[in-house]
Each structure stands twice: as C-alpha cells, then as structure tokens.
Amino acid sequence: MGAPTPDAHKPDMPAKQVTLTYYDGHSRTVYDTDVERAYPDGKLIVSRTDLNGVITHVNDAFVEISGYDIDELIGQQHYILRHPDMPKAAYTDLWQTAASGQKWHGYVKNLCKDGSHYWVYATVVPNIRRGETVGYTSVRRKPSRSKIDAAMTQYAQMKQNEEG
Ligand SMILES: Cc1cc2nc3c(=O)[nH]c(=O)nc-3n(C[C@H](O)[C@H](O)[C@H](O)COP(=O)(O)O)c2cc1C
C-alpha cells in the first residue's frame, strides 16, 4: 500500500466539498469546482499501477492535466483522482475485468488537484510477465463530447441507484 492520500486543498473559487470513502476504508475530503479541463489534443494520458492500484508510473501528459507534482502521484492509490460524480460500480467493473486478465474500456471523469476535472476514454490492461499479472496499465484517449454526455447521464443514474 502507498502512504495515506492527504486531503485536497480548498480551492480559491466556489467548490462543493465532498467526503469520499474509498474501497480500502480510507476517507478523504475533496473539492469539486465543476470546471472542466480540456483533454490535450494528440496526447495519450498513461499510468501504471501495481496489483493494489498504487501508482508506479505516469507520463508527462498525466502529470500536467492532474495538477499534481509527480512526487505527489507516485506511490499513491490511483483513487487520488476519483471524482465524486463517478459511480462505484464503474470501478468494480474495471477491477473485476482487469483482475480476471481482460481489457477494460470506459469513460472516466477524473478530479484534478485544484478541484477541476477532465474526461477520458480509458483502456486498462493487465501487465503480464512470465504468465503472471504484475500490475496494470491505463492508456487514455480523448473522448467525443457526445460520449461524455451519454456517460454523464448513465453515471448520474448509476449513482442514484447506489445511493438509493
Ligand atoms: C491501471 C489503473 C488505472 C486507473 N485509473 C483511474 C483513474 O484514472 N481515475 C480513477 O478515479 N480511478 C482509476 N483507477 C481505479 C482506482 O484504483 C479506484 O478503484 C477508483 O478510483 C475508485 O476508488 P475505490 O475503488 O477505492 O472506491 C485505476 C485503476 C487501475 C488499475
């Protein structure tokens, strides 16, 4: 496991304050300013994790859009980017698929350090060495606006079902 993920800093602009509780039981306060960051044209946003979802590698595009320094990302749980609008079921599906050795695709809304967000189309694959899964890689592409709109509707519905 990595070091506990620290609370986010309160942004200077108006923001919704939310306490997220993660799969491992850790709770953290985050802020959502509802400001969208544009996906960088022509770039892939890449990260790798160990078997527990701890970040082991990120590319420059990942660091830049996240707003974090690289040192704040390596060794942290990938949930440091979890946005409060994302339903838990999306990640359950990601983990079940990847842990069973398959490729997972999906639309993800990620939270930046300053409370803004960005949308990606992610492909998660297991990294296999000598027949054994040693970690996971996610390669993210720019999603179309129409797919983002569809994902927003679907995720809002899924979240409502989760919260009852
Ligand atoms: C390779 C890989 C990449 C991931 N990328 C993201 C990501 O970009 N954003 C995110 O919120 N979760 C990502 N996750 C899922 C997180 O590990 C985590 O499941 C998710 O943030 C929800 O947190 P929770 O499962 O603790 O509730 C990724 C997982 C793996 C294995």
pLDDT tens track for 118-146: 999 999 999 999 999 999 999 999 999 99
Question: With a 6 A CB cut-off, is 28 part of the ligand 1 pocket?
Answer: no
Cα 46 to middle of ligand 1, angstroms: 13
Cα 80 to middle of ligand 1, angstroms: 8
Give tens-digit pLDDT for 60-99. Answer: 999 999 999 999 999 999 999 999 999 999 999 999 999 9
Question: With a 6 A CB cut-off, is 47 part of the ligand 1 pocket?
Answer: yes
State residue 131's pLDDT score: 93
Give tens-digit pLDDT for 148-158. Answer: 999 999 999 99
Long-range pairs for 149-157: beta carbons < 8 A, 24 or more residues apart: 151/107, 151/109, 151/119, 152/85, 152/109, 155/85, 155/86, 155/87, 155/90, 155/109, 156/85
